[in-house]
Amino acid sequence: MAEAITVARPYAEAIYQLSQEKGNAAEWSQTLRNLTTVAADPQMHPLVDDPNVTPDQIYALFLDLCGKTLSDEGKNLVRTLLDNRRILLL
């Protein structure tokens, strides 16, 4: 658990700093709730671990499930976490 916190810290700090700069902490809070709900779904873990499922497919799934509530910054977060194989940190 401590390792997950250590790995997640830079992402959390970047999101916090961005939300402070843009004054959209409430929006980020909602975005993170939505993304966490998707990432925590028991069906998501096998997809992320499946070598036959590409990061682009998982990205598209997140976009489909989060709908229009996901800002461009939220989409960038998903892409960054996928590219770094950290999406399950949510």
Segment 37-60, tens digit of pLDDT: 999 999 999 999 999 999 999 999
Residue 4 confidence (pLDDT) above 80: no
Contact 39, 87 (CB under 8 A): yes
Helix (H) or strand (E) holding 88: none
CATH 1.20.1730.10, domain 2-89, yes or no: no
Chain centroid to CA 3: how far?
18
For 59-71, the pLDDT digits (tens) are 999 999 988 889 9
CA distances to 5, 11, 16, 30, 61 from 27, in Å: 23, 16, 12, 5, 21
d(CA 20, CA 6): 22
Nearest to 77 by CA among 18, 7, 5, 21: 18
d(CA 69, CA 53): 24
Give the start-to-end residue ranges of the domains of the chain: 2-89
- Residue 36 in tokens: 């966490």
Q: What is the percentage of the chain residues whose pLDDT exceeds 90? A: 80
